[in-house]
Structure 1
């Protein structure tokens, strides 16, 4: 009999655990373990993420099998969980092992969702019992020594059980919103003649709203001209440009002229003097280490890869044991990781071909902070460094990601970038102008990163040597500019907007909660949310910019009166109460009761609001997918061939249909043309029961029904 079962979240995690022990052997769906840590038979088994999922509405009642406004709301009495067919084989292996275990060690990811995955499997396997002991592995790294130490310091499993209830509550609430909201909006919009499915989600809908709001700002933006005042200054040792200080914007050229007259300055030639020269030595530390979102944003910015492509690539690097766990939301590491990085520096610098000094070998709070690593630390290289041959075999995106993570990690040990900043103040009569220039003194960590063409083209502003009280001459430059529209979102900037969604919420408490939980979605789900929005055709990608489609804009407009559905504030309100469930001061029943009240409110108000929505249904007529046989006589849209009839692509707005046959005789191309033109047409060769044939003239009415207009004649 199995004494101890270690339950991992996925196969790669289980394998990493197995390799940390003295002896392991792989079986079908699990690993057998032998190690002094465990006194009896021990195995490691695994899920495929969520082995267990909520059942579909049709599993509860026949009336919920088909979408209908009349059968809403969908509020099951008890929520059922099931295993997808593709995962049943593994589930049965896990089920058998858990039922036979005396001790179950939850070793899924160290977070709320990890608890949900583990305990959902344990309950579905009917392995939740007072007779069993439950323990929890809680680690932040997949390094062998950290894994082993974690198993030496297991925590009581039931201490984390409330977090499972918290996560399950969120899961059910998301299901309720999705199942009811998607049907409600889809069917209500179909009544307005809009075909297609409109899915609603707590994270995807606010994300769409973020992109739509930005797009509207761009579309409604009207550039306005403005003017700035600069001075071209001629000093003894050279010429330079300075800007009016303090900075001012002028609406017209006349305002600039008035300002110059007020300051008693001649525009073309004026004498002045250097009034202040400041020189400061400044340092810039290397970039922060990468969380998943910041890595996805940077890779999108540099290489235009999508968030999901980056996640897939970094996951592969993690499974290859080249990078640490990717789904992390922090840019910090612990002292443990810093210590092992120091011991590996020679290998890392050899891989990069970097020969510069690495003097920063004491942990700095900017990068190393044990208190700020709650679940997983920043993405860094592991102790395993690929050979040149192995690295060359990696796909290009994996190479680019690994290289960037390695450079950013090593930069933490390199000297700060040091430069001298010179600020020159020049006074002409009653106006002062300021010029700022930089002179690099020590390249430091910047030497790890190859300069781009843009960086090479933009050299640091060099200023001539000047002294206080030096006399100079100047020419006033009136610079005309225009206000700029906001930039469209890229996947990288949208990820940042999702993570900082608190900035878009007015309610102070809600904003603070969103700041604490780092916005909407999680590091693991944000990429899939963006992919979902693309798949649902709410947004599309054009030259690395995200554009809202007409379908996406319509849904955003339809949600307008229910800002909670389209706002990150819903996540904040949920988290406020979900936290209480985790702290055992709130209940799942109360939370779900409030979700149901919200859904009932939507059912009462949304159909009416959508009925009054201003919408051009022609914008949502799908492109013809079948053979086009002509124009619909009712609406002039395309008529396409279906099975046994011709139908208008504007359905359900236009319900015109035309049969392909009349009395079992297939209509000719000429017949169809004449009928669609509103004329009579002669159908010949119609067979009788006596095997003779006849012909007859027919016409179609406004609905497409075929009616005889003359007596049948034998042929």
Structure 2
């Protein structure tokens, strides 16, 4: 009997469903004997990571002090994550079952999946059994069965575990040491200053976390915000001219070499007046037919950025929907880091396109003119596929209505990319005319005509691609130009001056941020760093970038407001303090590390060597922090943080206590008086009364007017009733009152009036 270990319960369920018979037990399944498993198999499952470092046993859970740094554990010991103990006990029982003769890793076919599997097996048993890996990119029954028949020896993938293990330790060392050092030094700064309102208690305990991926990501946002804040809008002017040649009119825009705008209004006005009614001659007419290829299949980053652009969907939400579709067998593995597939996937596409042909939403685009097996290397490229191929559609839902709106949106994006790949290029004829006026001034006119819509028939309203050629096509002016030729002469009959203002760089969105994290190498000055970051795909991985961004939200460094990633004062303070020279705030560190981690995965470098270098780096970074902290000046940031905290506290104030006049706030499970600790005022209102949650707005009204509006849905026994709440100060209790009939009639009359108005 074999023990298969899946990363999540839904994956385990998919695995067992691929075989004829199985039983469900508490936290695991049992596959009955079959061709693939002659003696049957257990299929247990994790919940992602089940273990974490046991800092108590490692000796790292010590009181915070600068004298206790650096922290360098001699051994790294694990313990179950709180709430996961039962899963660990179940896997331990199965792993030590004498009937089990082989372990099969069914976790994600990637670095982190290897880590999850290896850690838990090492933790629960000392048995040295043969171990293999299920290495697949889709969870269709056919793929699972094929994968089980072609299991990969664990040893061929073990270096992926070593890479993940080394990365986890290095990140732990950077995080625990640098976070403590910066936090303690910051707290010391706060304590040495007297704030205007004398309240620094919150800041004295403020923790500033540092991380190899989160800190450079925070720096990307910080730098963008600083660019926006530093930008001073400046006016500029452009000049358009209307030409008449042989009775035909067209408009062109002034340019000279690489310049197409003026910084002086007087200069452009003088030119505009001078040119009217002057002779013009057509210097050049260029006509070119351009073919625009369909966009490539999605990788996760492109899927996240596209979904954010079109639907303002958060990258984490996009991944969740894509994972649900993957678990349902509708899409391939979503954590793809490339847009390519292998020839083995082409027949799958042929099959699914045949099914899509009979759906209401996609039948209009099918059958497509290009067969899946004839797709070019733009889509099928075995050399560029590593562990997982690009995201493709695997099947059609039996009932589309059972997909939630987010799942439908993601499924539609992927399906259209797949169908588009099977359509011809979009063809356009582009014309450019250069007109010379007064023998010195040149004007450019651009036009575009559709020849063949091709794959763009799938996208009539959306911008679908972030690829360079498609952007160029989108930026062309859409105009039907008159039939003119070089040497034709005419006049400029009119000019128009347009004023504009220079714009700051746009705010980062969650979608553009994940793209910038991947492509941050373009921001580096050193060519070598650019190459490394391009090769290693920047900060984090496709599987971790959304989590890194959310960590920055959770730590109070960033906030997503109206789909803009904004810098909070705490994040600004940290970046101001660390400056622009700390390597931990630069993509350079993650670039160098990822380069080495890849070498560990390939077996070219020993993981212990990397951990040793990480320890030395931590010592250096601690010294760097000590030096830069001597020149910190945080007065301005402290005032801004205190003001933000004060405003946040004010928002929590609901009104004056009906007993003593102090402020009332929401506490844990009830609304209470803030003066309780000083005066013993016992005014309170439960947050939930007779099964009904009492909102802050209702409490505000009660404190202001002495009673709430009618609250519906109180439950006493089996009876539901509506009531107005009021507070009897003398009796020190809340009272229920029947809603006034007059109030109901007035409300009804208002409703009738609105209804009549809406019908007109």
The normalised TM-score by structure 2 is 0.77
Match status 1:113 vs 2:121:
no
Name the residue aligned to 2:185.
188
Aligned to 1:370: 382
- 2:327 pairs with 1:319: yes
Deviation of residue 332 (structure 1)?
1.5
Instruction: Say whether the 8 Å CA contact 2:170–2:611 is kept in structure 1.
Output: yes
The match for 1:10 among 8, 11, 17 is 8
Q: Which of 620, 637, 648 is the equivalent residue of 2:641?
A: 620
Farther off after superposition, 408-417 or 457-466: 457-466
Where in structure 2 are the equivalents of 1:85-484 lying within 5 Å? 85-100=82-97, 101-127=100-126, 129=128, 132-193=129-190, 194-195=203-204, 196-236=206-246, 238-243=248-253, 244=255, 246-248=257-259, 249-253=261-265, 266-351=274-359, 352-356=361-365, 358-361=368-371, 362-383=374-395, 385-387=396-398, 390-428=399-437, 429-451=439-461, 460-474=478-492, 475-484=494-503
Alpha-carbon distance change, 202 to 209 in structure 1, aligned in 2, over 3 angstroms = same
* CA spacing shift, 1:268–1:237, aligned 2, 3 Å: closer
Structure number with larger C-alpha Rg: 1
The 8 Å contact of residues 237 and 466 in structure 1, kept in 2 or not, is answered as no
Instruction: Give, in angstroms, the shift of residue 168 of structure 1.
Output: 0.1
Q: CA deviation at 1:418?
A: 1.7
Q: Is the 8 A contact 2:514 2:545 kept in 1?
A: yes
Q: 1:457 to 1:373 in 2, by over 3 A?
A: closer
Q: Distance in 2 between matches of 1:512 and 1:183?
A: 33
SS in 2 for 1:464: coil
Deviates more, 1:477-486 or 1:366-375: 477-486
**Aligned-pair CA distance for 1:572:** 1.4
CA distance in 1, matches of 2:622, 2:286: 66
Please report how far the alpha carbon of residue 566 of structure 1 lies from its aligned counterpart in structure 2 after TM superposition: 0.5
Alpha-carbon deviations, 1:627-682, whole Å to 9, x = none?
8999xxxxxxx9x999xxxxxx9xxxxxxx99948xxx99xxxxxxxxxxxxxxxx
* Count of residues paired in the alignment: 631
Superposed CA deviations along residues 34-73 of structure 1, whole A, max 9, x for unmatched, are 3213343322222222122222x34433x83433333232
Would the alpha carbon gap of residues 459 and 585 (structure 1) be closer, same or farther in structure 2, given more than 3 Å must change?
closer
Stretch moving more, 148-157 or 549-558:
148-157
Instruction: Judge conservation of contact 1:426–1:432 (CA < 8 Å) in 2.
Output: yes
Q: Name 1:701's counterpart in structure 2.
A: none
1:564 pairs with 583, 592, 600, which one?
A: 583
Match of 2:544 in 1: 525
Give the TM-score normalised by structure 1: 0.81
- C-alpha distance in 2 between matches for 1:344 and 1:189: 58
Q: CA deviation at 1:120?
A: 0.9
Moved more, 191-200 or 608-617: 608-617
* 1:254 shift after superposition: 5.7
What is the DSSP-based 3-state SS (H/G/I as helix, E as strand, rest coil) of the residue aligned with 1:165? helix
Gaps of 5+ in 2: 191-202, 465-472, 657-662, 668-673, 682-760
- Deviations, residues 181-237 of structure 1 (Å, cap 9, x unaligned): 222222211112134221111111110000000000110112333344433222345
1:592 alignment partner in structure 2: 611
User: How do 1:686-697 residues align onto structure 2 when only pairs under 5 Å count?
Assistant: none
Output the CA distance in 2 between the equivalents of 1:471 and 1:457. 29
**1:554 partner SS:** helix
Structure 1 partner of 2:76 = 79
Distance 1:364 1:221 in 2: 45
Deviation at 1:452, TM superposition (A): 5.6
SS in 2 for 1:460: coil
Q: Secondary structure at the match of 1:201?
A: coil
Please give the alpha-carbon distance, in whole angstroms, between the structure 2 residues aligned to 1:586 and 1:518.
Answer: 20
